[in-house]
Amino acid sequence: MPDDVIAYDPRTALVVVDVQNDFADPSGSLYVAGGDDIIPAVNDEIAAARAGGATVVTTQDWHPPATPHFTTDGGTWPVHCVRATWGAELHPDLDIEADLVVRKGTGGEDGYSAFTVLDPDTGAASPTGLGGYLRERGVQRVVVVGLAADVCVKATALDAVAAGLDTTVRWDATRAVDVEPGDGDRALTELRDAGVRVVGAEP
């Protein structure tokens, strides 16, 4: 397969990570610069996945109003994607009809990966159920797009490859938060080092 081609079939799943208003809209509380620019590329992948008979999964941060995940309660991140608010909704330009929606952080956990959530105090990981769902459908390959490259996209792809799934990230269909300058570049290196195939990125 050419390095820049992503093929979809019934043994492939597309995971669309957190393309939500708080991340992908400039008015969002944790807007990722350029987050709205990736939506056409994400929509292209959704259309290709549907045409190939692949499974389509979308994730949403779905936090309670108070959680140790937020700076207001001693955590890392500003308040974002509070359940049942505008910020938590998927961006209206996203063309998605998912086979499965994985909502992360619903009980106050750190919800980075689509596959696991982490206890904010102990760091202990618990499965979201996505891994079992994909196994039941015979999925062997995963393609990851969405937001943000250096946080939830990275965590999802690393969990996928660790689970033995052939994992691809379409880099031009994601953007980095870059809380620290260079976080996106470091995430790219980490993904490649872990065996994730990255397309749409500079060598």
Instruction: Write the CA distances from 99 to 87, 133, 168, 192, integer angstroms.
Output: 22, 10, 19, 28
Q: With pLDDT > 90 as the criterion, what percentage of the chain qualifies? A: 86
Q: In whole angstroms, what is the distance from residue 7 CA to residue 82 CA?
A: 35
> Would you tell me the crossing angle of helices 183-193 and 154-162 to the nearest 10 degrees?
10
Contact 63, 83 (CB under 8 A): yes
pLDDT confidence of residue 93: 98
Distance of CA 170 to the CA centre of its chain: 11
> If pLDDT is split at 50, 70 and 90, which confidence band does 95 have?
very high
Task: Characterise 113 by phi-psi region: left (phi > 0), alpha (psi -120 to 50), beta (else).
Answer: beta
Active site residue 154: no
Active-site entry in 61, 152, 154, 159: 152
31-67 confidence digits (pLDDT tens): 999 999 999 999 999 999 999 999 999 999 999 999 8
Q: In whole angstroms, what is the distance from residue 81 CA to residue 79 CA?
A: 7
106-152 confidence digits (pLDDT tens): 988 888 999 999 888 888 999 999 999 999 999 999 999 999 999 99
Q: In whole angstroms, what is the distance from residue 114 CA to residue 33 CA?
A: 22
16-26 confidence digits (pLDDT tens): 999 999 999 99
Contact 67, 111 (CB under 8 A): no
Q: Which residues contact 182 (CB under 8 A, 6 or more apart)?
A: none
pLDDT confidence of residue 3: 63
pLDDT confidence of residue 203: 64
pLDDT confidence of residue 194: 98
pLDDT confidence of residue 82: 97
Active site residue 152: yes
Q: In whole angstroms, what is the distance from residue 53 CA to residue 51 CA?
A: 6
How many CA atoms lie less than 13 Å away from 67 in the CB half-sphere?
A: 26
Active-site entry in 81, 104, 154, 159: 104
Active site residue 178: no
Q: Which residues contact 50 (CB under 8 A, 6 or more apart)?
A: 56
pTM, rounded to two decimals: 0.96
158-195 confidence digits (pLDDT tens): 999 999 999 999 999 999 999 999 999 999 999 999 99
Q: Where are the domains of the chain?
A: 12-199
Third-level CATH fold of 12-199: Rossmann fold (3.40.50)
- With a cut of 80, say whether residue 1 has pLDDT above it: no
